[in-house]
Amino acid sequence: MTTMAEPKPTTEHLELASRLLREEAAAVGALAELPVGFAKAVEMIDACAQSGGTVLVTGLGKSGHVGAKISATMASLGIPSHLVHPTEAAHGDLGRFRSSDLVLALSFSGKTAEVVALCGLLRQDGLPIVTITGRKPADGEQADPLSRLATVPLYLGLKHEALHPRFSAPTASTTATLALGDALAISAAARRGFTDADFARRHPGGALGGALRPVMDIARCTIHDHLPVAPESVSVIDAQHAVQTESGRRPGAILLVDDAGRLAGIFTDGDLRRLVLRDRGELDRPIGEVMTKNPRTIGSDALARDAVALVLEYRQDEVPIVDADGKPVGLLDVQDLVALKLVEG
């Protein structure tokens, strides 16, 4: 079988790509001023979630795909949400809508027949409707059919797609709609007091979920399990004996504490090797004289992403975890982060 050679990009192709990105960026940037009605829409989404309702997102074609992402983002931020196909709604899915729900309807033209028909029915039932369409009508001009059905109409401020009139494929409209949907979701979540901890409970998988896990959840050595702690006053050799376990399992460092039990320093296996190579007689010295004093630490309430930032910035393979009183409660090894694929081994 013969294969066609891949065509090489021409200067014109590259210029079109660059222009497309600039026009899409401009479409999103223009929304930073926030459309009229945005605050009211956020208030309505919050009220819907507070009342136990669901934000039901609908759109057809590319708008439907964008709507699926907006709905998924809302759900991950603690705002119950589902996507409803406007055509399927006419064949039984109207049963998904309840009086406590809110509808977010997407259509760049504002004339998509299936979406307009669905919202017409829901408007008769008294459901609140937020719409996102393209162009805001000029003074004295009638709004598009979908916006006329809205409780709160939001406009992208776009008259046409990027690269108009050469291409009419959905580009700037879908990008801007997605960005505005994200803004609605984030604003409503912030209004509801949603936190990273709440997000982590809804998104435990993948690197993102791992980065939001508490450090105490991912550290293999904690105050209750294999945490090597010794007084700073004992000798190097005695400290090694003091932290040895029956299983032989231990990390690559010992945490040293003062008389009050607060972290005073850290002594790594690398420190031990260097000490032995220099002078084995120094094994009898107090470990407090050869430890690294006041090492960088991380709080017991920190997240894995905070540990990643510390490890990457300072190249520190072992990070002591301390409580509010400065007492060690765990030891995070870089391999704990490697296991979650948060850093490369």
The structural domains of the chain, ordered by start, are 17-194 (3.40.50.10490), 215-339 (3.10.580.10)
Contacts of 81 (CB under 8 A, 6+ apart): 54, 55, 56, 57, 70, 71, 72, 74, 75
- Asked if residue 247 has pLDDT above 50, the reply is no
- Asked if residue 4 has pLDDT above 90, the reply is no
Each residue's pLDDT tens digit, 260-273:
999 999 999 999 99
State the pLDDT at residue 48.
Answer: 96
Distance in angstroms (rounded) separating the CA atoms of residues 156 and 146 = 14
State the pLDDT at residue 64.
Answer: 96
Q: Which of 313, 310, 312 is nearest to 321 (CA)?
A: 310
State the pLDDT at residue 27.
Answer: 96
Regarding predicted confidence, which is higher, 182 or 280?
Answer: 182
Each residue's pLDDT tens digit, 84-122:
999 988 777 788 888 999 999 999 999 999 999 999 999
State the pLDDT at residue 59.
Answer: 97
- Asked if residue 187 has pLDDT above 90, the reply is yes
Each residue's pLDDT tens digit, 281-321:
889 999 999 999 999 999 999 988 898 898 888 888 899 99
Assign 228 a pLDDT band (cuts: 50, 70, 90): confident
* CB environment 105-115: b (16+ within 10 A), e (fewer): bbbbebebebb
What is the pLDDT averaged over residues 205-232? 81
Distance in angstroms (rounded) separating the CA atoms of residues 236 and 345 = 29
Each residue's pLDDT tens digit, 23-75:
999 999 999 999 999 999 999 999 999 999 999 999 999 999 999 999 999 99
State the pLDDT at residue 227.
Answer: 86
**Residue 141 neighbours by CB distance under 10 Å:** 9
